Amino acid sequence: MKIVIIGNGMVGYKFCEKLLTKADQNEFEIIIFGEEIHPAYDRIHLSEFFSGKTAEDLSMAPKDWYQSNGITLHLGDPVSNIDREKKIVYSYKGITETYDYLILATGSSAFVPPIPGSDKKGVFIYRTIEDLEMMTSFAKNAKKGAIIGGGLLGLEAAKAMIDLGITDTHVIEFSPRLMPRQIDSAGSEILKSKLETLGLKILTNTNTSAILGNNAITGMLFADNSSIEVDMLVISAGIKPRDEIAKKSGLEVGPRGGIVVNDYMQTTDPNIFAIGECALHKGMIYGLVAPGYEMADVVVNVLIANDKTFSGYDMSTKLKLIGVDVASFGDPFASNSDCHTIVFEDKSKGIYKRINVSKDGKHLLGGVLVGEAASYNMLLQTCKNKMVLPPNPEDIILGSRGDGKQGSADSVSALPDDAVICSCESVTKSQICNAVSEGGCESVNAIKKWTKAGTGCGGCIPMVKDLMLHTMKTNGKYVKNVLCEHFNYSRQELYDLIKLKSLKSYDEVLDALGEGDGCELCKPPIVSILASLWNEMILTKGNDTAQDSNDRYLANIQKGGTYSVVPRIPGGEITPEKLIVIGQVAQKYNLYTKITGGQRIDMFGAHVSDLPEIWKELIDAGFESGHAYGKSLRTVKSCVGSTWCRFGLHDSVSFAIRIEERYKGLRSPHKLKGGVSGCIRECAEAKSKDFGIIATEKGWNLFICGNGGSKPQHALLLASDIDSETCIKYLDRYLMFYIKTADPLTRTATWLNKMDGGIDYVRNVVVNDSLGIAHELESEMQLLIDNYKCEWKEVVDSPDLRKRFSHFVNAPEEKDPTIRFEPLRDQKKATEWK
Amino acid sequence: MNCNITESITWFHACKINDVPENGGVCVKYKESQIALFYFKRRDEWFATQNLCPHRRQMALSRGMIGSLNGEPKVACPFHKKTFSLVDGRCMNEEDDCSIKTYLVKVENDDVYIGFAGADNDEEEIFA
């Protein structure tokens, strides 16, 4: 069977690929005629051409792919005539080919509205690599840009203008809102204000009446007689199906263009099919790639005598336009008479979410997301699979308020097996799970290769990953939590190995246990392990550069690149003399001061080169590092306790100070906070801390693994009515056990939640010594306590270490000149970043 | 001056080898701009890029951690851990399309030089 394809775009290519996988290669001969000189390339990611990608990078497959699959590819040679009687095509360059079946995949061209002057120099369309090349060379001399069209393609073109360096660009849209096919007016307003912060000027409701200039464009005139200056214009106002060859051959085309096809994608000639943007199905042109691929799949199935029809296509889409997430799914515009609409809008953050819920509140009909679209995949699946909504449907957009978390792996398990996860390649949940269970795929890349899921727009990749992890877990596979590509060990394994081999620096660890150069994922946890094991000065032995910036400069980096300084104030108790010193230092170095949540004082806005001098003054006054920059003990908060309080049972301040002094400088997988309250009223909020101690009539109750933060969790009771010595003994064991066994960046609360047996198991280890390691834990802790030194004192006393605290290596006395502050309530703040 | 290099490159004396921490970076002042200079002890390779992280426009890359991804050297910005290739400057995080400039580096004896394309004769040290 001989198949001729006219058009070598994404859909034409996909047709070949699908035919090759589904049919017996020997039964087909494929001949392609393409108008462009490049083999099919990824038009969706065309704008990446400006960030340095080449035509080869964007190509769907290299030229030799066609050859090795027995496909004849004629590029730069469009078909000029079709003889339907004899079933022969004639190409522009004079090639003739007979066919059994002819596939029209001619795509579309840019729709250019009839505006006088659109043939002037400096006016471009945005469609092919050639268009982009012409734009690139012209843009060098252009300053003021404009785009006609505020839809999806128009905003892509606006991104291209920014990439070309023409930041002074107007986007002109005829309709009252941006992206009129995808989002509603409120969503458009948010998108507009986001784009305006990037410097784009947006004109909606604006009709261009003429393009001004003699030979080249100089400006644009609008219907309201206003005008703007422009020296480069891109028209991206929509698409026009390429149906010329079909029309010429007598096939039926729609009144406004498009080759008419039936549900089998057959044109009015049963031997000729049309797919992609040139096809008109039930009055619809589909300008997205996913339905085009689906059409290609339909034709492949028809040719191999499978029964498959095209029954319209969901136009849901998610994209990142100039850095702003925009998504629309299902019926985004369903009116109030058919549904309840729930809207969430945060103008300051530029987030807009709308969902349309059926009248009975059970199903999701559609919606719009602007500014934050992490929940898109889950919402789309909920909508498509008619999954029943939770009792309060708003939870599905408000549940993740602000933290941008995707539905967890638990939520993917609720999806039906035939849920389409990747709509570009129509890959279902069960296909992905099969790739993991039967295909042995254990990485997203392996799944991509096996199923093609995620190879189109890539929007489904987070969900593919969740499904993969979920499937591996259900299969009882041990999902090993390795740090990164440089170490094939979990943190706990590394901790044991480093201890066993007595390794003291990151480089030694990498030499002995890893490979390559390391990276920002493995360096901090390993130096944290080293500190937790040996408690040596963290900036020596080359370990300084293996730390996060905060640890490396022993201060917290803040907006603008300055640092904040937090001296330790154990238990929150401080003398008037020390308060005065903090005030004097802050005044001298012009620092913004604020009381922290941990009962101490933070000084912001310090230049890196001032840090050693600031600390010298603090240390001279008796202060020590507060380790606010480290994954280490922060504060032990206290209420005033029995020394003053009429309700207090014990002296909570003294005990808090004792504990803070004991564990100060202790490096751990994540930060540690403690609290001591003098009575049941719990004024120190100790139950929200990693360890909380609350006075009772008979002694102390010790609670562990509490957390404030994003997932608040009350600490659980470990032991009750214990004396101070026992309390410290249990704390030693508990903290050391946590340090030895937790994953990197895991707070004690999460550590406990993941622990088999939970608090009962930890109590067995810590209180009942079920593992027989209690003594070991205590002596390991004692070693760390004995080795404590104030690391800021060591820096202040060491000229070598001090040398690292400068901004310019070749001008150490100069400060970063780009640092800017703004006044704020008699103090200052960092200038807002972009 | 001996001009046997096809493209004219201005070599700017940045610092001494010992000024740069092993497996780390420093910031070099070059005229009004800031260049991040990195030294990979393990591979004995030097790289230079702009110091500005394009993500939030912060002068911070020289304080970032360096490392590699599939063998390709990279730096991670301390602010939000955006990572950039030290070979071609592209952002290595998915879905990100910002990139940074990279510069040539050469080491002669104990001195480190950063190379800038294009003739520029008013610099203190020019080698070719």
DSSP states of B96-127? ---B--EEEEEEETTEEEEEEES--TTSS---
Q: In chain A, pLDDT over 90 holds for what percent of residues?
A: 53
**How many angstroms separate the CA atoms of A201 and A218, rounded?**
18
User: Quick one: average pLDDT of A619-644?
Assistant: 94
Which two three-digit tokens encode residue A265? Answer: 């994608």
CB contact under 8 Å between A549 and B42, yes or no, is: no
pLDDT at residue B7, as a whole number = 62
Give per-residue pLDDT as tens, A550-583.
999 999 999 999 999 999 999 999 999 999 999 9
DSSP H or E segment with residue A472: helix A461-474
Give per-residue pLDDT as tens, A443-464.
787 888 888 888 777 777 778 8
- Give the residue from B31, B63, B70 with the most A CB atoms within 10 Å of its CB, the best one to mutate: B63
CB contact under 8 Å between B58 and A833, yes or no, is: yes
**A315: confidence class by pLDDT, cuts 50, 70, 90:** confident
Give per-residue pLDDT as tens, A230-288.
999 999 888 899 999 999 999 999 988 999 999 999 999 999 999 999 999 998 898 88
CB contact under 8 Å between B88 and A809, yes or no, is: no
**How many angstroms separate the CA atoms of A181 and A368, rounded?**
11
CB contact under 8 Å between B21 and A545, yes or no, is: yes
pLDDT at residue B121, as a whole number = 42
Gap from A722 CA to chain B (nearest CA, Å): 44
In terms of pLDDT, which residue wins out, A336 or A412?
Answer: A412
**How many angstroms separate the CA atoms of A649 and A642, rounded?**
6
Contact B61, B53 (CB under 8 A): yes
Answer whether residue B2 shows pLDDT above 60.
no
Answer whether residue B35 shows pLDDT above 70.
yes
Give per-residue pLDDT as tens, A355-394.
999 888 888 889 999 988 878 888 888 888 888 887 777 8
**A480: confidence class by pLDDT, cuts 50, 70, 90:** low
pTM of the model: 0.54
Q: What is the mean pLDDT of chain B?
A: 84
Closest CA to A402 of A346, A364, A354: A346
pLDDT at residue A110, as a whole number = 87
Contacts with B69 from chain A: Cβ below 8 Å: 485, 519
C-beta neighbour count of A594 within 10 angstroms: 11
pLDDT at residue A406, as a whole number = 37
In terms of pLDDT, which residue wins out, A194 or A458?
Answer: A194
User: Quick one: average pLDDT of A395-418?
Assistant: 59
Q: What is the mean pLDDT of chain A?
A: 89
Contact B3, B113 (CB under 8 A): no
User: Quick one: average pLDDT of A321-334?
Assistant: 85
User: What are the strands, taking DSSP E only, across A670-803?
Assistant: 672-677, 691-695, 700-704, 716-722
User: Quick one: average pLDDT of A154-177?
Assistant: 89
Closest CA to A77 of A64, A63, A90: A90
Contact B92/A at CB under 8 A: no
Gap from B3 CA to chain A (nearest CA, Å): 27
Across the interface, of A458, A524, A816, the residue whose CB is closest to B59 is A816
Answer whether residue B128 shows pLDDT above 50.
no
**How many angstroms separate the CA atoms of B84 and B101, rounded?**
10
Q: How far is CA B53 from CA A315, A767, B62, in A?
A: 37, 50, 10
pLDDT at residue A403, as a whole number = 37
**How many angstroms separate the CA atoms of A144 and A181, rounded?**
28
- Give the residue from B27, B40, B87, B88 with the most A CB atoms within 10 Å of its CB, the best one to mutate: B27
Contacts with A520 from chain B: Cβ below 8 Å: 64-65, 67, 76, 81, 83
CB contact under 8 Å between A485 and B79, yes or no, is: no
CB contact under 8 Å between B83 and A517, yes or no, is: no
Contact A417/B at CB under 8 A: no
ipTM score here?
0.85
Give per-residue pLDDT as tens, A603-614.
999 999 999 999
3-state secondary structure A552-590: HCCCEECHHHCEEECECCHHHCCCHHHHHHHHHHHHHCC
Closest CA to A273 of A241, A297, A299: A299
CB pairs under 8 A between A and B: 117
**A409: confidence class by pLDDT, cuts 50, 70, 90:** very low
User: What are the strands, taking DSSP E only, across A379-441?
Assistant: 420-422, 427-428
Nearest CA in chain A to B99: A51
Q: In chain A, pLDDT over 70 holds for what percent of residues?
A: 98
Answer whether residue A405 shows pLDDT above 50.
no
CB contact under 8 Å between B21 and A807, yes or no, is: no
Across the interface, of A458, A517, A549, the residue whose CB is closest to B43 is A517
